Amino acid sequence: IGEGASAGSYGYTNSGYSVYEEENERLTESLRTKVSAIKSLSIEIGTEVKNQNKMLSEMDNDFDSAGGLLGATMGRLRTLSRGSQTKLLCYMMLFALFVFFVIYWIIKLR
């Protein structure tokens, strides 16, 4: 402020600075609110990521156990297919005959 400034102009200058300070405070508070919202959102995302990783780990374990079970079943099928084909054919024919008689019996009861 210059030496020739009157007392009235000095008050006007102070009130101008006050307006800028108030605007800065308002913008600072708005920024603080936004930062707080982003912080809570990032915490929620972190929690969700941890839960998803836990679920993926459990699914990986389940798939591993299912793969082991499937491998054992395939081994049994290989053993069965290497066995005598006549025995397998006989079992299949007996099963087909059984199914045929069950269907015949159901139709006969109607």
Backbone phi, psi, residue 69, to 5°: -65, -45
pLDDT level of residue 11 (50, 70, 90 thresholds): very low
Question: Binning pLDDT at 50, 70 and 90, where does residue 13 land?
Answer: low
With tokens 């081994």, the residue in question is: 75
Largest CA distance in the chain: 122
What average pLDDT does the chain have?
Answer: 84
Residue 4 lies in a domain: no
- Cβ-based neighbour number of residue 42 at 10 Å: 10
For the chain, the first-to-last Cα distance in angstroms comes to 112
Supply the range of the domain harboring residue 24.
Answer: 14-83
In a domain, 50, yes or no: yes
Say how many domains are in the chain.
Answer: 1
The rounded distance, in Å, linking the Cα atoms of 105 and 96 is 14
Domain assignment present for residue 2? The answer is no
**Using one digit for the tens of pLDDT, what is the confidence trace for 20-70?**
899 999 999 999 999 999 999 999 999 999 999 999 999 999 989 988 888
Token pair, residue 10, equals: 């000095």
Q: Give the Å distances, CA to CA, from 49 to 55, 56, 62, 104.
A: 10, 10, 20, 59
Q: 16 or 66: which carries more pLDDT confidence?
A: 66
Let me know if residue 99 belongs to a domain: no
Evaluate whether residue 96 is within a structural domain.
Answer: no
Residue 32 lies in a domain: yes
Closest CA to 32 of 19, 40, 43: 40
pLDDT at res. 16: 66
- Read off the pTM: 0.48
Q: What is the mean pLDDT of residues 82-92?
A: 77
